[in-house]
Structure 1
Amino acid sequence: MLNLQGKQIVIAGGSGFLGVSMARFLAAAGASVSVLSRSVPIVVGNWTHHIWDARSLETSTAKTGSAGNWVETLDGADAVINLAGRSVNCIKTPDHQDEILRSRVEATRVLGAAMRNVASPPPVWVQMSTAHIYGDPPRLVCTENSELGFGFAPQIGRAWEQAFTESKLPDQRGVVMRTSFVIGRDRGAGGGAMATLGRLARFGLGGRVGSGTQGMSWIHETDLNRLIADAIENESMTGVYIASSPHPVSQIEFMRTLRRAVGMPIGLPAFEWMVRFGAPYLLRTDPELALYGRYVVSERLPQQGFVFAYPELEAALQAWSSHSE
């Protein structure tokens, strides 16, 4: 059983699905958790909350629910986890693209500035990144040593990681997690991506999307939380890791397994033209999130001895389904 008793951990950008999941996990392991977010969170738990704007060192006095200046939470902390960034689950208008980039880069830079303004900054910084950094190579399995991709998403990943490299303190241990699609239970108002996919599957609409061969690399939230905790505790962990199950699948196989998990034998297909029309107008999201994908596998995690609790998709989706009713 993981024991983080006495550890002080700060989660920046911690009011979303991943942040809440990590806060619950780390607090249950005995850590004292502080969450930084731009608004009062919908979900509260056994952790403290601090308002920040993810851009400046000041705490806005116009907002409520904060437990003091957010910069002070970093002084004496054992670790900081940076998840901050606008969701990519949106229509990619120029304004949204600008906000997706700025929210990640500016939050990372201001964390670095804050840690230079405290007497005892955290010795380890765990930085979220994205497996989208590899682009969308068809059927090619990418590892930590693979070439990075081209396009908007890889550009975001590069800028995010570059901001981290420039902001990290010289003597601070830094760990970057290039994270794939997370299977978990979003307790927020919208329910998250898995809730949407689950509804489609239950209604018999969870079939092939486009070609169906695009990669679905995934990780269960339990394994991501365990991996983050390992990054904090294991002093040999440093640099870039792919945070993804060792068994990525195609989109058609992912949805076939999801249909089994929710007990729906039928899955009607969605042709590319249907997705390009329906995603922005009905789901208010980017059709390329469904039409493109990637297969990623970590070469470094096995070397670290990390063992996945959910290495196979069927067990991961069954666990999700059993807790999402």
Structure 2
Amino acid sequence: MSADTPAMPNIGPARAERVGVLLVNLGTPDTADARGVRVYLREFLSDARVIEDQGLLWKLILNGIILVVRPRRKALDYQKIWNIEKNESPLKTITRAQAEKLAASLADSQVVVDWGMRYGNPSIRARMEALAAQGCKRILVVPLYPQYSAATTATVCDEVSRVLQSMRAQPAVRFAPAYPVDATYIDALAASITAHLATLPFKPELIVASFHGMPQKYVDLGDPYYEQCVATTEALRTKLGLGIEDLQLTFQSRFGNDEWLQPYTDKTIAGLAKSGIRRIAVVTPGFAADCLETLEEIAQENAEIFKHNGGEQFAFIPCLNDSDGGMDVIRQLVMRELQGWI
């Protein structure tokens, strides 16, 4: 180097680029009252991925009937399961715990873990902006839906895309895919079911696998959700060594007057009791975390339906949540999708 050549500044070793991981679940009201539920339902039911016909008739029904009547009733349901200590829904409590445990397991890497909700708070926008502010030039978005649906997985991608449109310095973004027959997921479900059944004072005559429903016409138009629910159930039967009558697939949470995916959970459970079945267990493999649809609709409402129709013993098997098995599923999914980034 000649004397006229300026010396290069000593900037030290390059700092590893930070990578963000954003866990996303469906969402929850901020409060367990009619106002909180109304705000949540307005956002949820105004999404064209959820209710595809957002025409004038739907807007009249939504604003003139649903948002007037339904929030009061659903608020009472939320109050049955509300986390009083933290003043939040169990879904929010569990999703936070999943993010914290994932972050702890990745503590020695450059990965920053956060969590958000598609509807309600913390919003995807707020958490995407927070990750970017922490220097994350790359973000892996993980929709916590084992089975893909346009009404769940795709709407997360839609919202992330809207956020990116408003960001001048956009991070690179990846979306983790659904995992309906992932070996770690099926193993964790089977282990959870087996462990829970071992704690019961009775032996169920069969297990019902209840997935969230959707309008049949969505599947007719090409949504792969139904076939992925079937694939999950078949893989779980194989893992547990059960037949089709031992582990029955059903769909819950239908809404409105359209035909939804069948068989319906509530009608199936009532029919089982009427046919002489006295002991059943219900598992909800399509939910990564317990929420209103599992803790109230299944564990309480459908338990009452079963007993009202002659059933005697009903067991609800919790979701994987932030259990060791549940965290194994999330961790292996994240590490696989981060390949090439860390």
**TM-score band, normalised by shorter chain:** 0.3 to 0.5
Structure of greater relative contact order (alpha carbons < 8 Å, 6+ residues apart)? 2
Q: Which has the larger radius of gyration?
A: 2
